[in-house]
C-alpha cells in the first residue's frame, strides 16, 4: 500500500499510547486519515485530545504503537533514525509554536538551513518568491532577536516552504502571536496552499485560524470525530462547542 495519487500523507489505523500498565495513556485510538495534496488542513480538538501526537506521528517525530503512517511514497512507520532524519529534511517542513529559529543565524540562513544541512543548492527564484510572499525581503540579514514574534514565525514559514516539502506541519503556529501577526502568518499559509500547491497541516485551538483552512478535522480522546470543509469561524466554534456531545466515530 502506498499513498495514492492526490494524498500527501496518510495515517492508517494509528494507535499511540504512552507508558504502560495502569499509567498507560492512549493518545491516539485508531486514527485513519488521508491528507490531500495542495490542501490546507487544520486539526482541532480539546486539550489532550491527541492533536500534537497525531502531527508528530505523521511527521516522523514520534513512532506509532500500531498502524501505518505514509508521507508521499514513503512508509514512515519502521524507519530508523537516519531514514526519519532524511524524511524530515527532504519531505517535511515544520513550524513550531515558538523557538523555531537558531539565534546564531540570520533570517536568510535560518530559511535556507534545511537545504544547507542537506547540502543542497538554494533555488534562488523560489527563495525569492517565498521571501517576497512572507514579506521579509528587508529583514534577511537580521538575527532572530532583532525580529518580532510575528516576523520570526514568518521566517519559520519561509523555512518550512523553501525546500518544497511534501507536507508542512504547523503546531499552533499562531499560538504566541497577536491577532494581526497571526492573520499575516495564516494568510501566508493559505496562499502557499492555493498558489503554490503546498500541502499544509496545522494544529490549532483558534476557530478563527481554522477558518483559513480548506478542511478541518476534529479530534477527541484520540479519535477523529468530525470534519468540516472550508468552514467559517462560526461553524468551527459551533462544532467545538458541541464536540462534547458527539460520539466518537472510528472513521470519517
Partner 1 sequence: MFKATLKSLLSRKLRLVLSALAVVLGVMFVSGSFVLTDTLQRSFTDLFSSAYANVDVSVTPKAEKGKQPEPLTPQAITDVKSVTGVASAVGDVQGSARPIGKNGKVITTSGSPRFGFNWTGTGQEKIRDGKAPATENEVAVGGYLATTGGFKVGDDIALLTLEPKKTFKITGIYEYAGGRDSLGGELSVAFTEPVAQQLLLGKKDVFSGITVTASQGTTDDALRDAVAAKLGSGYDVKTGAVLAKEQADQINEGLKFFNYVLLGFAGIALFVGIFIILNTFSIIVAQRTRELALLRSMGASRGQVIGSVVLEALVIGLIASIVGLGAGIGIGALLAKIFSSLGGSSLELASIGAPMSAIISSFAVGMIVTVVAAVMPALRASRIAPVAAMREAATPDRPLTKITITGALVAAAGGTSLAFGFNQASLPLIFGGILVAFVGVALLTPILSKPMVSLIGRLLSWSMPGLLGRRNSARNPRRTAITAAALMVGISLITGVSVVLTSATKSIEKLASGQLQTDLIISGEGQMEGQPATFRRDVLTRVEKTDGVRSAVGWSQDGVLEGENQMFAVGVTDLPAMATMFALKPKSGTIAPLKDDQLALPEEMAAEKGWSVGSKVTLQLAKGEPKTYTVGFIWVKSQVLQGALVLPESASANFRSDQIAQAFVQVAPGVSAADVQKRVEPLFADNPEITVQDRSAFVKQTTSQFDTVLLMIQILLALAILIAVLGVINTLALSVIERTRELGLLRAIGMRRAQVMRMITVESVVISVFGAVLGLAVGLALGIATVQALKDQGISEIGLPWMTMVQYLVVAAFVGVIAAILPAIRAARLNVLDAIAYE
- Environment class of 98 (CB within 10 Å of its CB; exposed 0-12, middle 13-18, buried 19+): middle
Interface residue with ligand ATP among 49, 106, 152, 153 (CB under 6 A) is 49
Q: At what angle do helices 179-196 and 149-162 cross, to 10 degrees?
A: 20
| C-alpha grid cell, residue 163 | 525546500
Q: Which is nearer to ligand ATP, 26 or 38 (CB)?
A: 26
Minimum Å gap between C-beta 19 and ligand ATP is: 6
| C-alpha grid cell, residue 249 | 466515530
Minimum Å gap between C-beta 33 and ligand ATP is: 15
Q: Which is nearer to partner 1, 88 or 215 (CB)?
A: 88
Asked if residue 175 binds partner 1 (CB under 8 A), the reply is: no
- The mark string for 11-30 relative to ligand ATP (x by CB under 6 A, - otherwise) is -------xx-----x-x---
Q: Which is nearer to partner 1, 99 or 141 (CB)?
A: 99
Residue with cell 490542501: 39
Minimum Å gap between C-beta 161 and partner 1 is: 12
Q: How many residues bind partner 1 (CB under 8 A)?
A: 30
Q: Which is nearer to partner 1, 96 or 126 (CB)?
A: 96
CB neighbour list of residue 213: distance below 8 Å, 6 or more residues apart: 40, 41, 42, 190, 202, 230
Q: What is the dihedral of CA 236, 241, 242, 246, to 10 degrees?
A: 90
Asked if residue 220 binds ligand ATP (CB under 6 A), the reply is: no
Q: Which stretch binds partner 1 (CB under 8 A): 1-9, 113-121, 183-191, 239-247?
A: 113-121
Instruction: Indicate the DSSP class of residue 51.
Output: H
Interface residue with ligand ATP among 34, 48, 97, 98 (CB under 6 A) is 48
CB neighbour list of residue 86: distance below 8 Å, 6 or more residues apart: none
Amino acid at each position: 500500500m502506498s499513498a495514492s495519487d492526490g494524498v500527501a500523507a496518510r495515517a492508517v489505523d494509528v494507535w499511540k499510547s504512552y507508558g504502560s500498565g495502569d499509567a498507560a495513556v492512549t493518545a491516539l485510538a485508531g486514527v485513519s486519515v488521508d491528507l490531500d495534496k495542495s490542501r490546507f488542513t487544520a486539526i482541532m480538538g480539546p486539550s489532550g485530545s491527541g492533536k500534537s501526537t497525531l502531527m508528530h506521528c505523521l511527521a516522523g517525530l514520534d513512532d506509532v504503537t500500531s498502524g501505518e503512517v505514509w508521507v508521499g511514497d514513503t512508509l514512515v512507520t519502521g524507519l530508523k533514525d537516519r531514514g526519519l532524519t532524511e524524511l524530515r529534511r527532504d519531505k517535511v517542513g515544520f513550524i513550531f509554536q515558538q523557538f523555531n529559529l537558531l539565534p546564531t543565524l540570520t533570517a536568510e540562513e535560518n530559511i535556507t538551513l534545511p537545504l544547507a544541512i542537506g547540502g543542497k543548492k538554494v533555488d534562488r527564484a523560489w527563495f525569492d518568491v517565498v521571501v517576497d510572499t512572507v514579506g521579509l525581503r528587508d529583514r534577511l540579514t537580521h538575527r532572530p532577536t532583532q525580529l518580532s514574534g510575528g516576523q520570526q514565525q514568518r521566517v519559520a514559514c519561509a523555512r518550512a516552504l523553501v525546500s518544497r516539502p511534501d507536507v508542512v506541519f504547523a503546531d499552533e503556529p499562531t499560538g504566541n502571536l497577536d491577532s494581526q501577526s497571526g492573520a499575516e502568518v495564516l494568510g501566508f499559509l493559505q496562499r502557499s496552499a492555493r498558489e503554490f500547491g503546498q500541502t499544509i497541516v496545522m494544529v490549532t485551538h483558534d476557530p478563527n485560524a481554522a477558518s483559513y483552512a480548506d478542511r478541518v478535522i476534529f479530534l477527541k480522546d484520540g479519535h477523529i470525530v468530525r470534519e468540516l470543509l472550508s468552514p467559517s469561524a462560526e461553524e468551527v466554534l459551533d462544532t467545538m462547542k458541541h464536540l462534547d456531545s458527539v460520539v466518537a466515530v472510528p472513521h470519517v
